[in-house]
Amino acid sequence: MSGTGNILEVVKVNKSFHDPVTVPVLKDVSLSVKRGEFVSITGKSGCGKSTLLYILSTMDTDYAGDVMIDGEATQGLSGSRLAEIRSEKIGFVFQFHYLLPEFSVLKNVMLPGLKLGKYSAEEVEHRAMERLKELDMHEHALKGANQLSGGQKQRVAIARSLINDPLILMGDEPTGNLDSKNTAIVFDIFKHIASEHKQSLLVVTHDNDFAARTDRTIVMDDGRVIS
Amino acid sequence: MKLLLSIALTLLRAKLRQSIVAAVGVTFSITMFVTLLGFMNGLNAMLDGLILNRTPHVRLYNELKASPEQPIDLTTDTATHHFVRSVKPKDELPRLRNAEAIMDALVKDPRVLAISPRLVSQVFFNVGTVDLNGQVNGIDVVQEVRYYQFMDYLVQGDPEDLATGNNTIVLGKGLADMMAAGIGETVQVTTPTGERSLLRVVGIFQSGIADYDKVQCYANIKTVQKLLARPGSYYTDINVKLHDLLTAPALAKELSARFDVDAVDIQTANAQFETGSNVRSIISYAVGIVLLVVAGFGIYNILNMMIYEKLDAIAILKATGFSGRDVQRIFLLLSMVIGIAGGAAGLVFGFVMQNVIDSIPFITAALPTVTTFPIDYNPKYYIIAVTFALLTTWVAGWFPARKAAQVDPVEIIRGK
C-alpha cells in the first residue's frame, strides 16, 4: 500500500489519437481512488472516459503522465509485468461478458486464478465456487458459458473478475447490455464488494441513475475531468 | 505451462474437425516420408550391395606393366625424340611378392576390419569338344562368408563343402547352365599352363550380373594353388575391408607406397554407385520435405483462422492477466500438439506402409536372394521425419502465435 492510501492515483495523464490527424482525447486528467471506494465515471459519448479506463487498466500504454496502481508506477513497465499487475490487482467487467464458450462456467471463473498461481488448482476451484455462490450462480457452475442468459453471463464475468481478490474492480459499462432488473442486481453486487470486501470499484457508465448511487461520480467532458 | 497446455487443448477440442485435418496433413507427409526413404534406401542398399558387397574396400594386386624405363632413355642424346620401345613387360608372375608379410602387417593395422587373400586365375572348362573361358577365384571361404556376404549369392550348395573339400568348385549360374553341370557332378579344368584337373561342383552362385555369372567361379584357395602348381604362399590379390569406408582412398595410396604393389580403393572402382545412391537419396529427401512443408502451410492456415475466430478469447485472456507471451505459447502449443499427434500417427502408418511394401513379392532372376521389395527400417528416417515435422509445425505455429501475442485487447474490447 502506498503512503497516500490510494489504490489508484492518476497524475496529469494526456493522450492523443494520431490517426489520421492528431486529436487530443485526454487532457491533464488527474484523479485518485481510495480503498473500498465505489467511484463512477460519467460523461457524454466520446468524452474519453473509456479511453481513460483502458489506460488505468494498464492495457493501453500509449499515453503521457503517471498512473500509480497500489503505489507502483506503471508507465514504462514491460508487457509481462503489466500482465502480472492485471492478474494480481485488477479485475475487469466489460459491457460484453467475454466468457470463453469452450469452457464451463466454473473453468471460466478459475482461469485467471490458475494463471496467477497463488493457490493450488483445488483451492482455486473452491474459491471460484465461493464467488459463484456469492453471486447466486453456483447452480450453473458446470454449464457451458453459452447456456446462460445475458444477466447470468455478466454475473459470471463479475465472479471471474473477483477470483484473485483484486484491489480494484474496473468496469466499462458493465450494465450497458442489461435490463433494469439485472442492472439492479449487478449494482447491489458492486455495492456489496465495496462495503464488505473493501475492494475499490471504478465504473465507467452513461447511466446517470447508476452513477448517482455510487460513492463518488467523476464527470468528464471533452477529455477533461470537470467535477 | 500446464494451464497453457490445457487451454490449448480446450481450444483444439472446440475446433476438432479443423485440427484433425491439419494433423492428417502431417500424418500423411510423415507416412510418405518414412515409407519413401525406407523403400528408396532399401533399394539403394540392394543395388549397391550387388557390386559393393563383392568389392573390397581396398584391393592390393600386382599389375603387369610395360617397363617404364626403356634402354634408349639412358642415352645422353637429348636433341632427338626417340620412340624405340623394345623392352616388353617382364615375364613375371602376377603374384603379390611377400604376400604373407603384407597380410601380417595388415592384420595388425587398427583401421583394417578384415583381410581375405585371393588367387585369381584364368582357366578353361572343357565341355565335350568346346573350351569355355572362365576365371577361378581361389578364396578364403570363411572370410568371404563373413565379410563379403558370399552366402547371399550362393543359390545352391553349402559353403562348408567348399571350405573343407578338396578339388571342389562353386560355379556361376550362367556357367553351370552352359555346362549343364549340377551339384555333385565333376567338371574338367585346364589351367593356362596346360595342367588338367577334375573338380567337383558343390554349389552354384548367382551374383545378379549375368556376364559375371557366365565366367566366374570360386574354389578354395588351396585348391587353386594346387591346380596351378604353386606354393602355399602364392596369392594374386589381397582384399581389405576397413572399419571406415571413407578412409579407403587414403589407405590405398599408403599401402601402395609401403608395399610396392598396386592398390585400388572402392571409391575409385565404383564411383558411379555412390553418385546414383546419393541422387536417389536427395530426391526422396526433397519429396519428403516438400510434403512436410505443405503440411506446415496447412497448420499455418488453420491456426491463422483459429486466431481470427478467437480474438475475443485472446483479448479477455490478456485482460485477465495472461501476457502476450502466454498467449503466444498457447497457440504454439496448439500447433505442436497437432504436429506431435499427426507425426506420431505418421510414424505408425509409415511403419505399416513399410511392412506392406516389404511383403510385396519382388522376384527377379538378377537377385536370387531377394523375394520381396527391399525396405531399410533404419530408425534414422523416423528420427529425421519427427525432427522435421516438429520443426515445420513449430515454424508454422510461430507466425500465427506471434500475431496472437500482438493482439491489442483494447482494440478488440472497445470494438464491441
Chosen for mutation from B320, B330, B406 (greatest number of chain A CBs closer than 10 Å) is B320
Q: Which residues contact B5 (CB under 8 A, 6 or more apart)?
A: B333, B337
Residue B80 lies in a domain: no
Express each pLDDT in B209-254 by its tens digit: 788 889 999 999 989 888 888 888 888 899 998 888 788 888 889 9
Domain-terminating residue out of B254, B269, B284: B269
Give residue A1's pLDDT.
41
Comparing B229 with B367, which gets the higher pLDDT?
B229
pLDDT of B92 reads 62
| Residue B8 lies inside a defined structural domain of this protein | yes
A96 touching B, CB under 8 A? Answer: yes
Q: Are residues B304 and B410 in the same domain?
A: yes
Domain count, chain B: 2
Q: Kindly state whether residue B75 falls inside one of the protein's structural domains.
A: no
Q: What is the pLDDT of residues A62-116, one digit of tens each?
A: 899 999 998 888 888 888 899 999 999 999 898 888 898 889 999 999 999 998 8
A80/B318 CB distance under 8 A: no
Question: In this structure, are B206 and B287 located in the same domain?
Answer: no
B255 and B354 belong to one structural domain = no
* pLDDT 10s digits, A77-89: 888 899 999 999 9
**Which pLDDT value is given to residue B367?**
67
Confidence (pLDDT) at B201? 92
More confident residue, B78 or B143: B143
Whether B251 and B280 share a structural domain: no
Contact A184/B at CB under 8 A: no
Which residues in chain A have Cβ-Cβ distances shorter than 8 Å to B324?
Answer: 79-80, 83
**Does residue B312 share a domain with residue B288?**
yes
Is pLDDT above 90 for B348? Answer: yes
Query: Is B85 inside any structural domain?
Result: no
Cell of B170: 562353386
Q: How confident is the model at residue B365 (pLDDT cuts 50, 70, 90)?
A: low
Please indicate whether, in this complex, the C-beta atoms of A57 and B414 are within 8 angstroms of each other.
no
Write the pLDDT tens digit of every residue in B318-346: 888 888 899 999 999 999 999 999 999 99
Kindly indicate the confidence band of residue B94, based on its pLDDT and cuts at 50, 70 and 90.
Answer: confident
Q: Are residues B264 and B297 in the same domain?
A: no
Segment A119-152, tens digit of pLDDT: 898 999 999 998 899 888 889 888 888 888 888 8
Which stretch of DSSP H or E encloses residue A84? helix A79-89
Domain boundaries, chain A: 36-46+77-225
- What does the pLDDT average to over B309-316? 88
Amino acid sitting at position B386: V
What whole-number distance in Å separates Cα of residue B345 and Cα of residue B355? 15
B260 with B293, same domain: the answer is no
Assess whether pLDDT exceeds 60 at residue A4. Answer: no
Closest partner residue to B416 (CB to CB) among A95, A100, A117 is A95
What is the rounded distance in angstroms from the CA atom of residue A83 to the CA atom of residue B256? Answer: 74
**Minimum mean pLDDT range among B8-17, B82-91, B112-121:** B82-91
Domain boundary among B235, B254, B269: B269
Instruction: Name the residue of chain B whose CA is nearest to A57's CA.
Output: B319
Domain that includes residue B245, residue range: 58-63+91-269
pLDDT above 60 (res A55): yes
Q: Which of A96, A112, A117 sits opposite B320 (nearest CB)?
A: A112
CATH superfamily for domain A36-46+77-225:
P-loop containing nucleotide triphosphate hydrolases (3.40.50.300)
Please check whether residues B248 and B117 belong to one and the same domain.
yes
Q: Quick one: B198 and B118 in the same domain?
A: yes
Lowest mean pLDDT among A198-207, B34-43, B154-163: B154-163
- Give the range among B81-90, B123-132, B258-267, B328-337 with minimum mean pLDDT: B81-90
Residue B69, in any domain of the structure: no
List Cβ neighbours of B49 (8 Å cut-off, separation of 6 or more): B149, B152
Q: Is residue B40 part of a domain?
A: yes
Given A59, A103, A115, which is nearest B3 (Cβ)?
Answer: A115
Is A111 in the B-facing interface, judged by CB distances under 8 Å? Answer: yes
Considering the domain architecture, whether residues B8 and B115 belong to the same structural domain is answered as: no
Kindly state whether residues B260 and B379 are assigned to the same domain.
no
Residue that terminates a domain, selected from B269, B294, B318:
B269
In tens, the pLDDT along B183-193 reads: 889 999 998 88
What pLDDT is recorded for position A3? Answer: 46
Q: Which residues face B62 on adjacent strands?
A: none
Query: By CA distance, what is B321's nearest residue in A?
Result: A87
A162-187 pLDDT, tens digit each:
999 999 999 988 888 888 888 888 89
Residue B332 within a domain: yes
B interface mutation test: which of A50, A98, A107 has the most B CBs within 10 A?
A: A98
pLDDT of residue A127: 92
Q: Give the CA distances from residue B414 to residues A128, B410, B411, in Å, rounded to whole numbers and listed in that order.
A: 27, 6, 5
Mean pLDDT across B35-51 = 82
Q: What is the ipTM of this complex?
A: 0.88
B68 has a pLDDT exceeding 80: no
B-chain CB neighbours of A171 within 8 Å are: none
The model's pLDDT over B147-176, given as tens digits with 9 standing for 90+, comes to 887 887 888 888 888 888 888 999 998 999
B243 shares a domain with B102:
yes
Q: Which of A30, A16, A40, A39 is nearest to A68 (CA)?
A: A30
| Digit-coded pLDDT (tens) for B292-307 | 888 888 888 888 888 8
Helix (H, G, I), strand (E, B) or coil at A36: coil
